[in-house]
């Protein structure tokens, strides 16, 4: 099978970690008889430097013509003085919108070899930590109307957290479908005691729950969810929530697994075209030093095989290879512990590729 992949290496450690993910994908192609064709395009700070904008039209065009998109990370101090659409992160919001990717899937699972890296007590993690956050991706405050101006003599800013019933319904359906393939439980997270948008969210989520009686369903306020993630994460299977809440909760869930450098993500729409990226940022402080952890990006490539290409066995092979390398005691600096063997970004990618 031949697949065309748009590659956005981005800024900071992005080029390093994406290169290692491509190394693993090439090994998968060799082992399973596939061909992966890569087209590299610009987005983020490097795109601003080259073209003056964070998301060039050429990048969007290439991504739309591809079978999937693999992304590293964007942003860094060099471009922090930019405003609004001139910032690297605007490219990320723009590509999600252009590709109509409304569902962000972020798994958070504590791997046994990394149990010591988890900041939670063993008595908590022994109950299990294996959940998925399904985050609505192209609505809410990040995409609503915004305004900065002077009101009553004071500088004031507004961000509109707007949702329609259609947007809520489609993301909830993704969550229920995913729960059916996992442990059959959905927790819908909102702030319905305060926000009108959350009250609509709760109304629609209950409607979808009634259509899926085989799935256990509950509501939880976002502040309580934040507490419960560190108090008893085993209670969660699939969490579904809006854009802003999902952004915050998914980073919290990532860190309780031991390292943000371990967590992949998938952004999906109504077609097989998806965007796959690690949850972490561009980490410019370690860029170019062979210190980055490529595992989140490699696992994102596995999600690409699973969700965009319907290559479940190939995705399983990558995940098994990651587990084997960790079981063999190899660690990058961010997950290093006493008695383990520290390696750099390139060697970690090679070790995983060798075990495909």
Q: What is the pLDDT of residues 230-269, one digit of tens each?
A: 999 999 999 999 999 999 999 898 888 876 778 899 999 9
| Mean pLDDT rounded to a whole number for the chain | 94
Q: Is the predicted pLDDT of residue 82 greater than 80, yes or no?
A: no
**Active-site residue, selected from the candidate residues 190, 191, 237, 334:** 191
Which residue in the list 9, 67, 142, 330 is annotated as catalytic? 142
Domain assignments of the chain as residue spans, ordered by start: 1-107+260-356, 119-256
- Please say if the pLDDT value at position 302 is more than 80: yes
| SS3 (DSSP) at 53 | coil
The pLDDT confidence band at residue 113, using thresholds 50, 70 and 90, is confident
CA distance 229 to 235: 9
For the entire predicted model, the pTM comes to 0.86
CA dist 354 and 300 (Å) reads: 18
Fold held by 1-107+260-356: Isopropylmalate Dehydrogenase (3.40.718)
The candidate with the shortest Cα–Cα distance to 290, out of 352, 353, 328, 342, is 342
> Exactly one of 130, 159, 251, 323 is catalytic; which is it?
251
Q: Which strands, in side-by-side order, build the sheet including 2-10?
A: 35-40, 2-10, 68-73, 275-278, 264-268, 103-109, 130-136, 238-241, 185-190, 216-221
Q: 290 catalytic, yes or no?
A: no
Q: What CATH superfamily is the domain 119-256?
A: Isopropylmalate Dehydrogenase (3.40.718.10)
Distance of alpha carbon 238 from alpha carbon 106, whole angstroms: 10
Cβ atoms of 241 and 188 within 8 Å: the answer is yes
1-107+260-356 and 119-256: same fold? yes
- Strand, coil or helix: what is 116? helix
Q: With beta carbons less than 8 A apart as the criterion, state whether 122 and 234 touch.
A: no
* Catalytic-role residue among 223, 310, 316, 328: 223
Residue 86 banded pLDDT, cuts 50, 70, 90: confident
Question: Is 73:282 a contact under the CB 8 Å cutoff?
Answer: yes
Question: 313 an active-site residue?
Answer: no
Cα–Cα distance, 274 to 146 (Å, whole number): 28
Instruction: Reply yes or no on whether 223 is catalytic.
Output: yes
Q: Per-residue confidence at 84, pLDDT binned at 50, 70, 90? A: low
How far is residue 230's CA from residue 119's CA, in Å, rounded to a whole number? 9
Residue 161 DSSP label: -
Which residue in 11, 247, 330, 334 is the catalytic one?
A: 247
- Per-residue pLDDT tens over the stretch 174-230: 999 999 989 999 999 999 999 999 999 999 999 999 999 999 999 999 999 999 999
């Amino acid at each position: 099978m031949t697949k065309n992949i748009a590659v956005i290496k981005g800024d900071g450690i992005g080029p390093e970690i994406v290169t290692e993910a491509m190394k693993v994908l090439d090994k998968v192609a060799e082992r399973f008889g596939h061909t992966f064709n890569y087209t590299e395009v610009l987005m983020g700070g490097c795109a601003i430097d080259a073209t003056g904008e964070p998301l060039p039209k050429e990048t969007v065009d290439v991504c739309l013509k591809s079978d999937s998109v693999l992304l590293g990370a964007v942003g860094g101090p060099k471009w922090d003085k930019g405003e609004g659409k001139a910032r690297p992160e605007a490219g990320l919001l723009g590509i999600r919108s252009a590709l109509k990717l409304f569902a962000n899937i972020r798994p958070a699972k504590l791997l046994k070899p990394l149990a010591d890296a988890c900041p939670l007590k063993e008595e908590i993690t022994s109950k299990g930590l294996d959940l998925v956050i399904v985050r609505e991706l192209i609505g809410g405050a990040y995409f609503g109307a915004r305004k900065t101006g002077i009101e009553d003599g004071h500088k004031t800013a507004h961000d509109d957290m707007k949702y329609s019933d259609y947007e809520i319904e489609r993301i909830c359906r993704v969550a229920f479908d995913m729960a059916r393939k996992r442990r059959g439980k959905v927790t819908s997270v909102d702030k319905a005691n305060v926000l009108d948008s959350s009250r609509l969210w709760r109304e629609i989520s209950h409607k979808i729950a009634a259509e899926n009686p085989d799935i256990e369903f509950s509501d939880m306020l976002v502040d309580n969810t934040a507490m419960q993630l560190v108090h008893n994460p085993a209670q969660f299977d699939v969490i579904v929530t809006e854009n802003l809440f999902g952004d915050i909760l998914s980073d919290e869930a990532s860190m309780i697994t031991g390292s943000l450098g371990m967590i992949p993500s998938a952004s999906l729409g109504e077609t097989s075209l998806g965007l796959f990226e690690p949850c972490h940022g561009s980490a410019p402080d370690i860029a170019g030093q062979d210190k980055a952890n490529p595992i989140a990006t490699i696992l994102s490539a596995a999600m690409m095989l699973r969700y965009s290409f319907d290559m479940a066995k190939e995705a399983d092979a990558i995940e098994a290879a990651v587990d084997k390398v960790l079981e063999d005691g190899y660690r990058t600096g961010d997950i290093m512990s006493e008695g383990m063997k520290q390696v750099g970004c390139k060697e970690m990618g090679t070790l995983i590729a060798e075990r495909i």
